[in-house]
Amino acid sequence: MLTRFFKQSKPIPLFLTLILLVAYYFFHHISQDSFSKMSSLKLVSNLGLIAFIILFIRFIIQKNNFQKTTNYSIFCFFIFLIIFPETLTNINMSLGLLFNLFAFRRMLSMHSNIDLKKKIFDVGFWCFFATLYWPPSLLLLVIAIVAVLFYASDNFRFYILPFLGFTSALILHYTYSVLRSKPINYLDKLPVFTWNPDLNYTLPDQLKLYFLIAISLFLLIYLPKIYQGLKLNMQRSLSLFLIIYTLYAFALIFNVNDDFSQMLFLITPLAIVSGNFLQLNQLKLLWKELFLWALIAVAIAFYFI
């Protein structure tokens, strides 16, 4: 059974997921004739980035004791990549997500109350580089303020540190670009939103969005039970995941760029929350099994649509 296989703490499920990722990645790009449209180096580099992102997500979850096993979240992340194959084509989105995870790791580690100043500063620092590749990542500064409220609200100076980190990274990057005689107009890197988003998607894309909404609402129903099984610090960590998911969802809706490769920033927190759902002790094994098989069935169905 899938549930028992992914429940084990051994790395076998992780290796299997990575093998499936490599196989599907090349199958998708060969079927789309991507190797004639993009350089092989860029495609292989993107695969390496996505594989590293999976390993880094696993590291974040383990480091913060957020789940007993990371295999559920990793497998759900892989299935979501199949459902949204556009996420496998844009290396800028992969880089943007990686820097988001760097920032998020520093936020989650704030619960230890060790080196708080450095960690809060680092969040702003990584936020800048994430914004270079995906402008709505600027919203990470909002999440940083929330994290300070959770873990260090008694010191007003901490609220300034994310902005100092962001500014420091900006100065370093600007200096580097000037030395290379390639100055950048950073105003072009700011997110651009519209109050009249274009929602005229194709039928397959509409169905994918309906699926995303449906699974989000489904997990929302189980959130109280998920919270009950977590300690206070882990509850705060889960809240940060939910806040970033909500902010990025609105950013994607009102972003002038409607490229579906941006879904990478939604499916990551969604996969992590799905992992917490699958580890609920109150949930019968049958329902967990049905959830995993339903995800697989949806992924297969969308491939043939």
Q: Per-residue pLDDT tens for 214-238?
A: 999 999 999 999 888 788 888 888 8
224: in domain: yes
The count of structural domains within the chain is 2
Comparing CA positions, the residue from 154, 164, 159, 167 lying closest to residue 143 is 159
Q: Which domain holds residue 161?
A: 92-191
Residue 231 and residue 85 in one domain: yes
What backbone phi and psi angles, to 5 degrees, belong to 38?
Answer: -125, 160
- What's the longest Cα–Cα distance across the chain? 61
pLDDT averaged over every residue in the chain: 89
Q: Tell me the C-alpha distance between 106 and 4, whole Å.
A: 32
Residue 78 and residue 222 in one domain: yes
Domain termination residue (choose one: 191, 219, 245): 191
* Confidence class for position 99, pLDDT limits 50, 70, 90: very high
197: in domain: no
Mean pLDDT, residues 90-102 taken together? 95
Residue 117 and residue 138 in one domain: yes
Q: Tell me the C-alpha distance between 225 and 277, whole Å.
A: 9
Residue 251 and residue 106 in one domain: no
pLDDT at 62: 86
Task: Decide if 140 contacts 100 (C-beta within 8 A).
Answer: yes
Q: Say yes or no to pLDDT of 154 above 90.
A: no
* Confidence class for position 150, pLDDT limits 50, 70, 90: confident
Q: Say yes or no to pLDDT of 8 above 90.
A: no
Mean pLDDT, residues 244-269 taken together? 88
pLDDT at 210: 92
Residue 133 and residue 64 in one domain: no
Q: What is the pLDDT of residues 74-86, one digit of tens each?
A: 999 999 999 999 9
Place of tokens 């894309």: 205
Q: Higher model confidence: residue 196 or residue 270? A: 270
Query: What sign has the CA pseudo-torsion 219, 139, 59, 90?
Result: positive
* Confidence class for position 190, pLDDT limits 50, 70, 90: confident
Gyration radius (Cα) of the chain, Å: 19
Q: Say yes or no to pLDDT of 68 above 80.
A: no
Q: Say yes or no to pLDDT of 191 above 90.
A: no
Q: Higher model confidence: residue 229 or residue 49? A: 49
Task: Decide if 80 contacts 38 (C-beta within 8 A).
Answer: no
Domain termination residue (choose one: 139, 156, 191): 191
Q: Of the ranges 96-105, 227-236, 296-305, which is most confident?
A: 96-105
Q: Say yes or no to pLDDT of 258 above 80.
A: no
Residue 1 and residue 81 in one domain: yes
Task: Decide if 70 contacts 8 (C-beta within 8 A).
Answer: no
